[in-house]
Structure 1
């Protein structure tokens, strides 16, 4: 694809995340435009499309991807719909940025991975946006550069104000801790080999059916140990922190508070209330980098293998939730082209 061509993107799903990506491509990202939007709710898709010049609305993914105006695909639909859209995009050899999860289950993720392998080249990037956050990038550089010596442990916190209706205990792993799963693999360049989940007494602020908070422990192929506090109904804000402990020092990200004030006998800052605010810059950077790479004819960032590995660890984590036992993670050999 010539570098000068404006990338026509089809956004699949126009819910909260999809609508935010439509806005991002239309208002923030350079080198791309929203050529199509897809949603099973035709009126919602039409409403989104009407705000953007030259954007068509569809209720079927296949119809949108067949449009000659579409050069690439951004998938932001619910996870169970990802596999079908991904396979359709691969059949047309279209580049894809897919919001996590790649698919909700390891078997589906493996099918997508194998379909991409049959093409013989990468076409899919998975939307693990923390890899594009400035603080996490500095932490990665500190680890890779040897500033703290060989990493031995990670201490992670993942807190959210409250869970939406319908949020389940399993979603603590599949929808929340999945980010720490990818962060661990990326920061340490190691696979997660086992998961243990410890469940303290639930918070009184959590819905009756939800076992929140939890402490999730990972063991890695390089001998590191990772602990993740997931507290999805903490009540006060959205916080994501990660501290790497090495042989010669530590490095931490997530303490950023934005504007810090001292006035009227008080001091302090603000805590973001949701992930869209906390990681706005990371989402912007991720989409811009995806567009730039796609226009060059390349793919970068987390790929199908990362999506598959995350799904496999999530499955082990959900099993560990239910049994209270240490649960091994079984992965096949990593494809060489990744």
Structure 2
């Protein structure tokens, strides 16, 4: 649709959906928000009222079918993603689906197959770290071969806290660690074949019975290893970084300064954690630019009839790893990832994960 704005609808108006609404209204070119939908109709109406020309739609599937909506951002809870993304595919609507693609590998594979049967790429999964300048630069450095073969990755993922009382141990794997899964696949350019989730002594700030922090170890198809710390109640702030270790050097994405890096809790109640400067309070600050770049790239690609960034296959592969990860969380054992054959599902010569252009 060259020459026209992409008319976008958003399903889900929580923190992420609201953030995307503001992004489309203020910072994205070639698109305009036209409709929002959420089970909390009052919240949807309130969001719509903040933006000119935006309608609140009661039924998310009605928003998908609306002829005045060209493309859809799915920012609803993961347990409704399958139904909503399948509806987008059935109506040939380009879709940006926030992670996880779905809640388990079987339903994610159904989405991949539906998109394949539709005959055109439609689904991008919201792994925004691929669009973060440092992460993209690190991927390009590793892909260039300048450092030799990549041997190890070390991922750190810390949140100050999670206010949701339902955020259990399994959600740390499925909703938080899933980002590290995509980072590992993106940096190595290959699949994860096994995962082991280890359970250190939990922080006193975690809810009873919740394993936090968690340490996960991925084994890559080429033999590389990835260590991952996910700590969702660290009390300091939002820290996300990735260190790659290769044969002839190493590099870190996400480190805000050089020299010794140490964090501490703020001196007074409500004060941000610090390292000598403020630690980002949450993901909307740390990855604000990445989200902007992701949505702009999605809009531009949708207008061309293409998909960039993480595909539905990437979403399926990440979900398959997390499905195995939840088994490992329960047993402490290393679990092989049950991944469908890409060429069988998508056809011979199916495109592998690619770096951001």
Q: TM-score range by the shorter chain?
A: over 0.9
Structure-1 residue corresponding to 2:168: 168
Matches for 1:34-45 after TM superposition, within 5 Å: 34-45=33-44
**CA offsets 1:156-209 (integer angstroms, 9 cap, x no match):** 111111122211011111111100000000110010000111211112222222
Q: Does 1:303 align with 2:303?
A: no
CA RMSD of aligned residues (A): 1.5
Q: Kindly indicate whether residue 201 of structure 2 is the aligned counterpart of residue 193 of structure 1.
A: no
Q: How far apart are 1:62 and its partner, in Å?
A: 2.3
Please point out which of 311, 319, 325 is paired with 2:327: 319
Name the structure 2 match of 1:32.
31
Structure 1 residue 147, shift from structure 2 partner: 2.4
Structure 2 residue aligned with 1:248: 248
Greater CA deviation, 312-321 or 62-71? Answer: 62-71
Matched with 1:84 is 83
Q: Kindly tell me: are residues 208 and 222 of structure 1, through their superposed partners in 2, closer, same or farther at Cα, counting changes over 3 Å?
A: same
Q: What are the residue-to-residue correspondences of 1:187-336 with 2, within 5 Å?
A: 187-256=187-256, 268-334=276-342, 335-336=346-347
Aligned length: 330
The answer to whether the 8 Å contact 1:313/1:329 transfers is yes
Match of 2:134 in 1: 135
Measured in 2, the distance between the counterparts of 1:62 and 1:181 equals: 30
TM-score normalized by the length of structure 1: 0.95
Contact 1:257 1:271 survives alignment (8 Å): no
Write the deviation string for residues 210-236 of structure 1: whole angstroms up to 9, x where unpaired: 111121000010110000011111111
Which residue of 2 is the match for residue 110 of structure 1?
109
What TM-score results when the alignment is normalised by the length of structure 2? 0.90
CA distance in 2, matches of 1:18, 1:115: 25
CA distance in 2, matches of 1:15, 1:163: 15
Match of 2:354 in 1: none
Q: Partner of 2:152 in structure 1? A: 153
1:197–1:317 CA contact under 8 A, matched in 2: yes
Partners in 1 of 2:18 and 2:296 — Cα distance? 16
Cα deviation for residue 69 of structure 1 reads 1.6
User: In the alignment, is the contact (CA less than 8 A) between 2:158 and 2:240 conserved in 1?
Assistant: yes
Gaps of at least 5 residues in structure 1 are 259-265
Deviates more, 1:92-101 or 1:161-170: 161-170
SS in structure 1 at match of 2:156: strand
Matched-pair contact (CA < 8 Å) for 2:90–2:118: no
Equivalent position of 1:18 in the other structure = 17
Structure 2 CA distance for aligned equivalents of residues 323 and 128 of structure 1: 28
